[in-house]
Amino acid sequence: MRSRSRPPVIAALDPSRPDSGAAALGLLLARATGARLILASAYPEHDEGMRTEALQRVEAARVLALQRAGGAIEVSSTVIADDGATAAAIHRLARLEDAALIVVGSSARGRFGRVLPGAVTDRLLHRAPCAVAVATAGFSAVALRLIGVAFLDRPDGWAALTYGSDLARAAGAHVRVVTVREPMDWTFSGPLDPAQHAAAARARDEAAERTLRSGAAAVPRTRWSGGEVLTGRPHDALAAASEELDLLVCGARGYGPVRTLLLGSVSHALVREAACPVLVVPLAGREPLAVRADAGRASVA
């Protein structure tokens, strides 16, 4: 029977891979928020050998998580059969448990050591019923110290900022707000004379600074760790900024007809290229995570 405690964090583990990044990030976020942690793995339906392997994987992860949690949170494990659609099976579990967050791992490192999600991770990111976090390969951090928020003055940007600020307060971390000033499109700027071009560039600079100030004003002073206007293509600029972060929070494009998480082009590219874990926040609905009051206890022993 499902617990009536706070909505859980589900860490989806791949029984065929030894990487424990998803479990480590799931534990870190569950401890920060006081959520239950469910370690889950899917196996091919009617394949008893894979079921046994999945059971062994999640049980070993559960024992390790319990040791690291030190009794601070509830940790459980489960395996679920899939009919060839692993992501859909994890989504069903998230709906059944009314999960606050799904945490998945990356399949490998791409060029420059950045995250390269595999096919299952890609599918998990699409149409998830809640927020999704993607751990970098080998993630093992024991605390969140600096959380970056990719901010735009629109609903998905405010959702990310609220989430990142609440999580920082719970984890005893600080927030860095970043917004991106994209280069002017040549199809727009090409016909402009030098004076018009300069005026347009100045207007874009001023708009980006206003956006940054707006986001900065919403972050508690005790959690503030600066802000920056980045220049370039959004996913490239944010990926470069992620080198200094423990977690990067960004907004989703919104909910579709069935109120599921839909990734926009920037967030989709970002989870492939960022150097730190990326957490994609739903646009609407209840709070993605129930942040506990006793902040500053997110470290894992």
Location of structure tokens 């709070």: 287
Per cent of the chain over pLDDT 90 is 46
Query: pLDDT value at position 94?
Result: 93
Query: pLDDT value at position 126?
Result: 74
d(CA 235, CA 214): 21
d(CA 47, CA 43): 7
d(CA 263, CA 269): 9
Q: How many residues does the chain have?
A: 301
pLDDT by 10s per residue, the chain, length 301:
344 567 999 999 987 777 789 999 999 999 998 999 999 998 888 889 889 989 999 999 999 999 998 888 999 999 999 887 888 899 999 999 999 999 998 755 443 333 334 566 667 777 788 889 999 888 988 899 999 999 999 888 999 999 999 999 999 999 999 999 877 665 555 566 777 767 877 888 899 999 999 999 999 999 999 999 998 888 889 999 999 999 999 987 644 433 444 445 566 678 778 899 999 887 654 455 655 444 444 444 4
d(CA 150, CA 249): 6
Query: pLDDT value at position 229?
Result: 94
d(CA 164, CA 280): 10
Q: Are 61 and 20 in contact (CB under 8 A)?
A: yes
Q: Please name which of 272, 243, 249, 254 lies closest in space to residue 177, comparing C-alpha atoms.
A: 249
Query: pLDDT value at position 189?
Result: 55
Query: pLDDT value at position 2?
Result: 42
Domain ranges of the chain: 9-281
Burial class (CB in 10 A: 0-12, 13-18, 19+), 55: middle
Which CATH architecture does the domain made up of 9-281 adopt?
A: 3-Layer(aba) Sandwich (3.40)
- What global pTM score does this model have? 0.84
Region of residue 18 (phi > 0: left; psi between -120 and 50: alpha; otherwise: beta) = alpha
Query: pLDDT value at position 187?
Result: 59
d(CA 87, CA 269): 19
pLDDT digits (tens, 9 = 90+) for 8-61: 999 999 877 777 899 999 999 999 989 999 999 988 888 898 899 899 999 999
Tell me the helix, strand and coil percentages in the chain, rounded to 5: 40, 25, 35
C-alpha dist (Å) from residue 116 to 111, 270, 272:
9, 10, 5
* Strand ranges in the chain using DSSP code E only, listed in sequence order: 9-12, 37-44, 75-82, 101-105, 108-109, 115-116, 131-135, 146-150, 174-181, 224-231, 247-251, 254-255, 261-262, 278-281
Query: pLDDT value at position 295?
Result: 41
Location of structure tokens 């990067």: 248
Q: Please name which of 39, 21, 244 lies closest in space to residue 136, comparing C-alpha atoms.
A: 21
